[in-house]
Structure 1
Amino acid sequence: MPGVEARGFDSPDETRTPNKTKVDVVRMGGATAARMTFEPGWKWSECVKPVVGTDSCQVRHVGYAQQGQIHITHDDGTEQDIKAGDAYVIEPGHDAWTVGDEKFVGYEFEQKAAEEYARS
């Protein structure tokens, strides 16, 4: 394994495309990262839930928001907006949706989220 490795998301190892969702996955050096793009009008419970079949998103997300904004509602009652420039941690048990007319682009570094998000 090389001591340094860099890869671009424009040539991902895998792409998943549920409704209004695009997940580009890059694997290197035993790590996995994902670029998640959610179009305006995206809502987890409408676009991804039919693919995964759980009542709420059961993936832990650790990432950085590059563009746009999403609103998170957690099963424990907490709510949070995540906007461009924010680093974030979202624990399992939530719904989310884009806010406004701009797509949301986030980069995720939690390996399980990158490997499993929006996969049936």
Structure 2
Amino acid sequence: ETSRLRLALEASREIGLASGARLTPSFEVGLRYDGGDAETGSGVEVGGGLRYAGSGFTIRVNARGLLAHAESDYEEWGVSGSVLLAPGEGGRGLSMRMGSSWGAPAGGADGLWAGRSAA
């Protein structure tokens, strides 16, 4: 049996560009405590991302990592990216999403709501 407690702060700000597109950087920092049969102890994790939303498409890149943990040899990191092509205002047209991830890209609130185990 494993458990994980998290206390995280997430911030983002949307910036409107002259072209009408929107750029949204985000940052996350959190404290966590892992307990149970797997790695145990406290740790500090950080993450960041950048989202660009233009006319009909969105590009998103995220990265996160465990900066420090009581188990000194324990590492956790991840990066992810996606491209979304969406139809126009009328809701008609091609819609497609492509994405990829390496490591453990979900963290903070994403990891909390995803319900994955700490093991």
TM-score, structure 1 length as denominator? 0.29
Structure in which a larger fraction of residues adopt helix: 1
Structure in which a larger fraction of residues adopt strand: 2
Comparing both chains, which one has the higher relative contact order based on Cα–Cα distances under 8 Å and sequence gaps of 6 or more?
Answer: 1
Larger radius of gyration: 2
TM-score, structure 2 length as denominator? 0.29
